Copies of this chain bind each other. A is one copy, B any other.
Amino acid sequence: MATRKEVADRAGVSVAVVSYVLNNRTIVKEETRRKVQDAIRELGYRPNLTARSLKTKKTQQVAVLTHYIGNPFEAGLLLQIEATAKQHGYFVFVQTYEPDREEELRSMLMGRVDGILLLGQSFGEETLGYFDDLQVPVVSAMKPAAWDADGSNPIPYVDIDWLPAMRSLVSHLRQRGHEKIAFMTAKESQLNYAVRHQAFLEAMRLEGLELQEDGHLDGSGRFEQAQAVLGELLDAEGKGGTAAEFTAIVCANDLMAAGCLAACRERGVPVPQDIAVAGCENILMSSQTWPPLTVIHYPRQAAGEMAMNMLLDRMNGIKTESILLSGSLIVRAST
């Protein structure tokens, strides 16, 4: 079995350069990389990656914890995160996060990753301390929900600045004559929507609007749930024909907004005349529904890339601050 030194000699480079190539570092010129790869092939050299990572204590692996990659918004973030990680020679693990299994997650990830990228999950204090001890940095694409009333959460993040974005949406709805506006979210399964919910409530207050009694809907973050929940309300009898007191719904993600549209369409409830519907992400689907959806545009490509770069910085000991991007309102026919 050839050694790394023999590979270096044959390629006419130093052992360090061979290591760079094996670690897939982009600083190596293409021509040099080719020479080293030729030498590796000719000599049949097989680096034992597992043994190597034991020595350097680096795995070149990062974990991305998803909620539900069936949501194209998450898949889009993941796409960008993976592309950025790959550029820097890192592999991306994908794991669906389950809040009640953090203990298991800790033992599964230990020794396996150099960093963890959350998609807005709010790790408990114990879990954060655990990875801190292991010197495995944790950052989040999308701001995690605060732990307590003072709004603190030590996880650095990339997100959009939700309050101005929500305010422009609520203000737009008010201008179209809507004063009774409901908010649909995922109460249990996706805590990071609490950040969007909070911004919505504050935007309503700033616009001088009050939330109705029935103004909080739980669509579980999914198209099907949203469709069922709004459908039930529309079918129930109330003063104005249905039990729904609101005339507009803002949804914490676009999948739920599309589900609301479907519920209205099935029942012949005209959108936006009877109910206006808006989303918060601007996935591709939202421009193709009938009617197309008014949304807050979330720049997910930039957010995914920045979050991964923030994690890479932290893994290299560079402390970067959280980043707030601008969301923008896209008005389409659903409002």
- Interface residue ranges, A against B (CB under 8 Å): 22, 24, 37, 40, 46-51, 53-54, 59, 61, 68-70, 72, 75-76, 78-79, 82-83, 86, 91-96, 103-104, 107-108, 110-112, 223, 255, 258, 261-262, 284-285, 287-290
* A48 and B289 within 8 A (CB): no
B110 and A46 contacting across the interface, CB-CB below 8 Å:
yes
17 additional contacts (CB under 8 A) given A78-B94, A91-B95, A262-B288: A37-B104, A46-B110, A47-B111, A48-B54, A48-B111, A50-B54, A51-B54, A54-B54, A69-B69, A69-B82, A82-B94, A86-B95, A94-B94, A223-B284, A261-B288, A284-B285, A285-B285
A103: chain B residues within 8 A (beta carbon): 37
Q: Is there contact, CB below 8 Å, between B79 and A68? A: yes
Residues of chain B lying within 8 A (CB to CB) of residue A223: 284
A132–chain B nearest beta-carbon distance, Å:
14
Contact (A50, B107) CB under 8 Å given A78-B69, A91-B95, A93-B92: no
A70 to chain B minimum Cβ distance, whole angstroms, is 5
Closest approach, in angstroms, between the C-beta of A26 and any C-beta of chain B? 11
* Bound-state Cα–Cα, A262 to B290, Å: 12
Give the distance in Å from the alpha carbon of A59 to the alpha carbon of B49 in the complex.
11
Taking CB atoms, residues of chain B closer than 8 Å to A111 are 46-50
Are B37 and A107 closer than 8 Å at their CB atoms?
yes
For the complex, what is the distance from the CA of A70 to the CA of B75, rounded to whole Å? Answer: 6
Q: Are B72 and A110 in contact (CB under 8 A)?
A: no
- What is the chain B residue whose CB lies nearest that of A104? B24
Instruction: Point out the residues of chain B lying under 8 angstroms from A54, CB to CB.
Output: 48, 50-51, 54
Complex CA gap A110/B24 in Å reads 13
Q: Rank and list the top 10 A-B pairs by shortest CB-CB distance, nearest first.
A: A290-B290, A49-B111, A75-B75, A285-B285, A50-B54, A288-B289, A69-B75, A94-B94, A69-B79, A72-B72
CB distance from A30 to the nearest CB of B (A): 11
**Chain B nearest CB: distance from A125 CB in Å?**
15
A63 CB, nearest partner CB in chain B, Å: 8
In the bound complex, what is the Cα–Cα distance between A49 and B112 (angstroms)? 7
Q: Please, which residues of chain B bring their CB within 8 A of the CB of A72? A: 70, 72, 75
Question: Contact check: which of B76, B255, B258 meets A70 at CB < 8 Å?
Answer: B76
Q: Which of A48, A70, A104, A223 has the most CB of B within 10 A?
A: A70
